[in-house]
Structure 1
Amino acid sequence: MGVSGWQHVGESDGTSTFQLESWSRFFDFLEAEIFSYSGPQRRSFIWRGQRRANWSLSTTLDRLLEVVGISDGPQDALEDVSKQHLERFKYASRGRRGLSPAALSENEWWSLGQHFGLATPLLDWTRAPFAALYFAFEDASVGNVPRAIYALNENAVFAKELEIQNGPSIEKGRVPIVEIVDPMSDENQRLVSQGGCFTRAPIGTPIEQWVQRAFEGSSDPILIRIEIPDTDRLGCLQALNRMNINHLSLFPDLSGASRSTNLRLEFEHCTVRKNA
């Protein structure tokens, strides 16, 4: 690694990859590479943490379609399957949303389903980079595979969305854009606590693949990939806990209380073994 504690290992077609020598360099990396940016184009990033850097930015619905063996079908056919899947969820949700439930848009229905475990075309992101760091390290990992944090330039994505929508007409199917989805529904309190939002890409298209196609030949960092060694997980989580970034603050429900209690046990006993 360089003196800074990270190195830039490659860029192409709107993507850029950095490798950090440890999670503790993430703070300095943000200041040097993200917050101190003074280029001509305004940048605003959303963030996502993943336990393994070799995982694609694919949605749960994409993975389910792959499992059932239809992920290679025509795009319009996959979109039809997606619509039918959502209609079934709406039907199954009858009488389960309380009295006089609010009307929801299509993306709000997907967001509600995402919250309760439905396979959806949405991918979770946060506007808080340290929350993304927490999500990257919250679970123990098997094998020495780096963890990853992704930063997606939402301003550039929105500009590309307008460009595509105003381009040649598409006769059938959903316009091949990536949407940044900010649900207004009150039925997912976790989104508020996490500074959460979603992306929605064409069915069967991981975010990194869409960026590479939509920004072919561009050297601008639309999608930044930050790889972090899979070491000192508890040290990372303890540092974030001191910043009040933990399961209690990010998941304001019994699930968060349970996970927070489990981590407390890890903190106490792993520290005892380490100091023994």
Structure 2
Amino acid sequence: MNDVRVRNWSELMQALYNIPKNALQRYRSDLVYRGVADASWGLENSLMRLGGDYANIEKPMLRSFRKYAEPGSIPAETLWVQLAVAQHHGLPTRLLDWTISPKVAVHFATAEEEYYDRDAAIWCINVVEARSLLPETLRQVLKRESAFLFSVEMLEFIRSLDDFDRLGENDAFVLFFEPPSLDARIVNQGAVMSAMPGVSLVLSEFLLNHPALYYRIIIPKEIKWEVRDKLDQDNVTERMLFPGLDGLSRWLKRYYGPGPYRRSRQ
């Protein structure tokens, strides 16, 4: 693993925001970020984590999602909109969630108190480098649109999962796209999603063969509460990232909870 282990909040911020100037002399990162509560976790998608005969239920499950969804709840018929909506609402899919915001990724790495006895990790992938591994057809789409990431509209020519999988018959790749702005949650989280051309492909295994694409920032368990409290101070909370009463309640439960105090006295 390409790991950077930080020791405190200052080192974490330095690791996250060590962003060089781009060609326009702006400090804009080429990375997308994914925070995980346990550094031992890989990048298996939720469909794979479902277990069982997951590879053969992908299509019928997505088909049933379309069939039984409320009229108008899926805003377009295209594959990529359907996948994004399904992922957003908790259906197991081959997609993975990412963000363009480093602190949002840190939120997801520190939001689950049941994992505070384990180191967390922020996966950082260079999207520009990942684009060089895309099939020529996809690279040309990005070039034509002068785009950093795909939009769902740019992927409309890929009409089925089989069409997508055929693009990876020669070499595996990872594709990053921006989901449609379905609600404030997607907008506030700076959401990005990734997909690979094969239901059984694991992104973390792919990255081991392409070490130049990524690194991980390891957040030791000993500083998780400090990081969490400072994120709350910065207003990077469930109240903002999950607008509505559910997110508000989750934030208040942690904010007014005992934190590490009760645990230290047990």
Q: Considering only aligned residues, what root-mean-square deviation do their CA atoms show, in Å?
A: 3.0
Is it true that 1:137 corresponds to 2:129 in the alignment? no
Structure 2: how far apart are the matches of 1:172 and 1:155? 20
CA offsets 1:95-135 (integer angstroms, 9 cap, x no match):
372xxx63242121111112221011111101000111111
Identical columns (%): 24
Is it true that 1:239 corresponds to 2:215 in the alignment? no
Amino acid at match of 1:122: L
Query: Contact conserved, 2:179 with 2:191, CA < 8 A, in 1?
Result: no
Amino acid at match of 2:11: R
Rg (Cα) greater in structure? 1
Equivalences for residues 1-276 of structure 1 within 5 A: 16-31=2-17, 34-36=18-20, 44-64=30-50, 67-68=51-52, 70=53, 78=55, 81-95=57-71, 97=73, 102-142=75-115, 144-163=117-136, 173-176=165-168, 177-184=173-180, 186-201=181-196, 202-213=198-209, 215=210, 220=212, 222-266=213-257, 269-270=258-259
Query: Contact conserved, 2:37 with 2:115, CA < 8 A, in 1?
Result: no
Query: Contact conserved, 1:208 with 1:223, CA < 8 A, in 2?
Result: no
Aligned residues: 234
Query: Contact conserved, 2:46 with 2:92, CA < 8 A, in 1?
Result: yes
| Shift, 1:187, TM fit | 2.6
Structure 1: how far apart are the matches of 2:217 and 2:248? 29
Query: Contact conserved, 1:23 with 1:228, CA < 8 A, in 2?
Result: no
Query: Contact conserved, 2:76 with 2:82, CA < 8 A, in 1?
Result: no
Q: Given the superposition, is the C-alpha separation of residues 188 and 105 from structure 1 closer, same or farther in structure 2, using an over 3 Å criterion?
A: farther
Query: Contact conserved, 1:51 with 1:141, CA < 8 A, in 2?
Result: no
| Shift, 1:38, TM fit | 7.9
Structure 2: how far apart are the matches of 1:142 and 1:241? 18
Runs of 4+ displaced beyond 3 Å: 36-39, 141-144, 162-166, 170-174, 269-276
Amino acid at match of 1:111: A
Query: Contact conserved, 2:32 with 2:126, CA < 8 A, in 1?
Result: yes
Q: Given the superposition, is the C-alpha separation of residues 162 and 199 from structure 1 closer, same or farther in structure 2, using an over 3 Å criterion?
A: same
Structure 2: how far apart are the matches of 1:143 and 1:262? 16
Structure 2: how far apart are the matches of 1:209 and 1:232? 28
Q: Which runs of 5+ in 2 are unaligned?
A: 140-161
| Shift, 1:159, TM fit | 2.2
Q: Which runs of 5+ in 1 are unaligned?
A: 1-9, 11-15, 72-77
Q: TM-score, normalised by structure 2?
A: 0.76
